[in-house]
């Protein structure tokens, strides 16, 4: 009996040891970064308090990781091929339809509306409603969960883009001359005349900011809760219709015809980042939800994946893409012509490869691709209407009711709107690294280096300059040795100048007064006996 008991104990021990291996990754996710280092702290009380806090953080992350298996019951979708011969990208939508249950197969459909082509789509954050805008003036709000069109209006002029505001009760449409905001019943609520003829709209959910880029390349931020203009930035880089918001830090990125991608925040007139991405114009842009990965497509048939921390290319893929979109789980959809390609980084390695393909009827030109949140569905807006196809494994299976609830009731929607307004972020909080809020700003102290250090620096620069001098070979008697020497001395003096100016500014150096030579001090009759300095 006792032997059995010890065996059970050993099993329990091994089980407990096994758990941490699985949990480690999950715990890392909840820890939000590494632990702080308290070795330099001299205050013992503060050290004790902070290490206790760190312990609590670790404990809460562990608890969250442990309870995941009860809190998040649903597992995501997947598509796996049988054997090495079958490839996932050869699997067609019809094949998937046969294998999947009826409610999912309802998500696969095509809506053909050839008169108001081409269509732009937008989804609400819970994936319950879709706004579709046909270029020839058709605006429609569709309840995609139950496949019921809620409101349709015909505005009678060109509509270039449509975007939902905080939820399905308001949406903004970029029309021919101005941007209009419509209410739930399709009634025009506001006409925003400041923005001009807008090409693309984006909504920053946490800040209630409507960002728009117009024909002249002006980026305009409007606070829709107050109705005030927050920023109007003249980018100076020309007309562009490639605009995306980075969901991680709410920074707006524009892709320009010179191949540059610029990132903006509403409070500064200069871009935060300006990076040269492609040799030709940038045709599409998309951000991964974790904020560290950016996909850009250029007209020179290249799709590049960038690491946004180091601003380096991670991967270059061949192909055109008129539109790009990342799903919640990190799948990348690229659309050109009538062909959609979905790429996936299997097991999170950030190495993207083919996952699924879908070709539509030959005449259809894809204008807009958008993944539906919390569902395995990809919405395609094209020249003959809109379609939706199934991409297993693209949506987040477990939603949080307080963040986005696909089963929202009317009351819950109203309460959520109030909470969103209460938590509305001021536009000053938009920055490249959003985790900097609440941290200590290191004060920049102007270090006054000692005299020796300055001299050493000066000598070092002079040495560097001396090595780098390349004298040009001049003809017609212009390259005499004396002239060459003079030129050399000029270059060295130029290199020394900033240090001497700094020293003068600090007051350490004063113009040396010329010593009255001995010659002059002596009376005239004795001057010929004065010691003359040897010529240097």
Partner 1 sequence: MKVKTISRSTDEFTRERSNDLQRVFRNYDPKLRPQEKAVEYVRALNAAKLEKIFGRPFVGAMEHNEAISCMAKNPNHLKGIFAGSEDGDIRLWDITSRRTVRKFPGHRGAVRGLTASTDGSRLVSCGADCIIRRWTVPVEDSSEDSVKPEDFHISKNAYWGVDHQWKGDQFATVGAQVDIWNHTSNAPVRSFQWGTDTVISVRFNPGHPDLLATSASDRSITLYDVKTTIPIKKLIMQTKTNSIAWNPMEPMNFTAANEDGNCYSYDLRKLNEATMVHTDHAAAVMDIDYSPTGREFVTGSYDRTVRIFRYNGGHSREIYHTSRMQRVFCVKFSCDASYVISGSDDYNLRLWKAMASEQLGVLLPREKKRHEYDEALKNRYKHLPEVKRILRFGLGTLFLVCIKVYTYQYESSFSPLLLCTGLDTGTTRGHTWCTRVSSSAQGHWR
Q: Which stretches of the chain bind partner 1, using CB under 8 A?
A: 29-30, 32, 64, 71-72, 74, 76-82, 86, 88, 91, 95-96, 99-101, 103-104, 107, 206, 247-250, 289-291, 374-376, 390, 392, 395-407, 409, 412, 422-426, 429, 434-435, 437-438
Which C-beta is closer to partner 1: that of 31 or that of 492? 31
Q: Rounded to the nearest whole angstrom, what is the least distance from the CB of residue 133 to partner 1 in the complex?
A: 26
Which C-beta is closer to partner 1: that of 82 or that of 312? 82
Q: Rounded to the nearest whole angstrom, what is the least distance from the CB of residue 426 to partner 1 in the complex?
A: 7
Compute CA distances 478 → 471, 483, 484, 490, 493, whole Å.
12, 8, 9, 16, 21
Q: Rounded to the nearest whole angstrom, what is the least distance from the CB of residue 339 to partner 1 in the complex?
A: 21
Which C-beta is closer to partner 1: that of 15 or that of 80? 80
Which C-beta is closer to partner 1: that of 79 or that of 331? 79
Q: Rounded to the nearest whole angstrom, what is the least distance from the CB of residue 376 to partner 1 in the complex?
A: 4
CA–chain centroid gap for 223, Å, is 21
Which C-beta is closer to partner 1: that of 152 or that of 428? 428
Which C-beta is closer to partner 1: that of 350 or that of 401? 401
The answer to whether 332 and 295 are in contact (CB under 8 A) is: yes
Q: Rounded to the nearest whole angstrom, what is the least distance from the CB of residue 194 to partner 1 in the complex?
A: 26
DSSP 440-464: PPPP-------HHHHHHHHHHHHHH
Half-sphere exposure of 47 (CA within 13 A, CB side): 8
Q: Rounded to the nearest whole angstrom, what is the least distance from the CB of residue 138 to partner 1 in the complex?
A: 30
Which C-beta is closer to partner 1: that of 32 or that of 512? 32
Q: In what order do the strands lie in the sheet with 109-112?
A: 109-112, 385-390, 377-382, 366-371
Q: Which residues pair with 110 in a beta bridge?
A: 387
- Return the sign of the alpha-carbon dihedral for residues 220, 386, 124, 328: negative
Compute CA distances 9 → 6, 13, 17, 18, 225, whole Å.
5, 6, 12, 14, 61
N- to C-terminal Cα separation, the chain: 105
Which C-beta is closer to partner 1: that of 102 or that of 511? 102
Q: Rounded to the nearest whole angstrom, what is the least distance from the CB of residue 9 to partner 1 in the complex?
A: 33
Return d(Cα 249, Cα 346) in angstroms, integer.
Answer: 25
Return d(Cα 488, Cα 461) in angstroms, integer.
Answer: 14
Q: Rounded to the nearest whole angstrom, what is the least distance from the CB of residue 99 to partner 1 in the complex?
A: 5
State the pairing for strand pair 188-192/179-182: antiparallel
Structural Rg of the chain based on CA atoms:
33
Which C-beta is closer to partner 1: that of 79 or that of 181? 79
The answer to whether 158 and 191 are in contact (CB under 8 A) is: no
Q: Rounded to the nearest whole angstrom, what is the least distance from the CB of residue 246 to partner 1 in the complex?
A: 9
Q: Rounded to the nearest whole angstrom, what is the least distance from the CB of residue 145 to partner 1 in the complex?
A: 9
Which residues have C-beta within 8 Å of that of residue 158, sequence separation ≥ 6? 135, 136, 137, 175, 176
Which C-beta is closer to partner 1: that of 320 or that of 358? 358
In the 8-state DSSP scheme, what is residue 379? Answer: E
The answer to whether 279 and 257 are in contact (CB under 8 A) is: no
């Amino acid at each position: 009996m006792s032997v059995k008991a010890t065996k059970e104990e050993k099993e329990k021990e091994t089980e407990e040891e096994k758990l941490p291996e699985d949990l480690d990754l999950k715990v890392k996710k909840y820890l939000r970064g590494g632990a702080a280092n308290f070795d330099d702290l001299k205050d013992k009380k503060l050290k004790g308090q902070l290490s206790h806090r760190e312990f609590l953080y670790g404990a809460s992350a562990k608890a969250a990781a442990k309870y995941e298996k009860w809190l998040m019951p649903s597992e995501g979708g997947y598509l796996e091929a049988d054997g090495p011969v079958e490839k996932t990208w050869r699997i067609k939508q019809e094949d998937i339809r046969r294998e999947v249950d009826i409610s999912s197969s309802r998500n696969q459909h095509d809506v053909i509306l050839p008169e108001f082509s081409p269509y732009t789509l937008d989804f609400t954050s819970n994936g319950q409603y879709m706004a579709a805008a046909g270029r020839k003036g058709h605006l429609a709000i569709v309840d995609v969960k139950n496949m019921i069109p809620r409101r349709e209006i015909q505005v009678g002029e060109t509509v270039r883009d449509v975007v939902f505001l905080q939820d399905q009760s308001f949406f903004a449409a970029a029309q021919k001359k101005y941007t209009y905001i419509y209410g739930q019943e399709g009634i025009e609520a506001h006409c925003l005349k400041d923005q001009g003829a807008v090409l693309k709209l984006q909504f920053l959910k946490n800040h209630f900011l409507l960002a728009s880029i117009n024909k002249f390349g002006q980026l305009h931020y409007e606070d829709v809760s107050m109705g005030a203009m927050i920023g109007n930035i003249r980018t100076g880089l020309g007309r562009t219709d490639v605009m995306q918001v980075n969901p991680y830090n709410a920074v707006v990125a524009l892709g320009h015809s010179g191949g540059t991608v610029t990132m903006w925040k509403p409070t500064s007139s200069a871009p935060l980042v300006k990076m040269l991405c492609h040799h030709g114009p940038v045709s599409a842009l998309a951000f991964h939800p974790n904020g560290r990965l950016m996909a850009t497509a250029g007209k020179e048939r290249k799709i590049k994946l960038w690491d946004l921390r180091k601003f380096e290319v991670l991967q270059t893929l061949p192909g055109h893409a008129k539109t790009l979109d990342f799903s919640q789980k990190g799948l990348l959809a690229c659309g050109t012509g009538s062909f959609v390609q979905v790429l996936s980084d299997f097991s999170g390695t950030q190495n993207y490869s083919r996952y699924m393909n879908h070709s539509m009827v030959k005449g259809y030109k894809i204008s807009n691709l958008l993944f539906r949140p919390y569902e395995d569905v990809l919405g395609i807006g094209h020249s003959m209407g809109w379609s939706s196809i199934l991409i297993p494994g693209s949506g987040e299976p477990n939603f949080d009711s307080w963040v986005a609830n696909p089963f929202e009731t009317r009351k819950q929607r109203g309460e959520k709107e109030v909470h969103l307004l209460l938590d509305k972020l001021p536009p000053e909080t938009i920055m490249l690294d959003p985790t900097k809020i609440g941290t200590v700003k290191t004060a920049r102290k102007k270090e006054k280096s000692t005299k020796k250090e300055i001299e050493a620096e000066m000598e070092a620069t002079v040495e560097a300059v001396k090595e780098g001098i390349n004298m040009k070979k001049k003809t017609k008697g212009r390259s005499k040795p004396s002239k060459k020497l003079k030129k050399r001395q000029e270059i060295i003096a130029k290199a020394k100048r900033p240090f001497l100016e700094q020293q003068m500014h600090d007051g350490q150096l004063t113009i040396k007064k010329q010593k009255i030579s001995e010659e002059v001090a002596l009376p005239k009759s004795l001057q010929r006996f004065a010691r003359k300095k040897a010529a240097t």
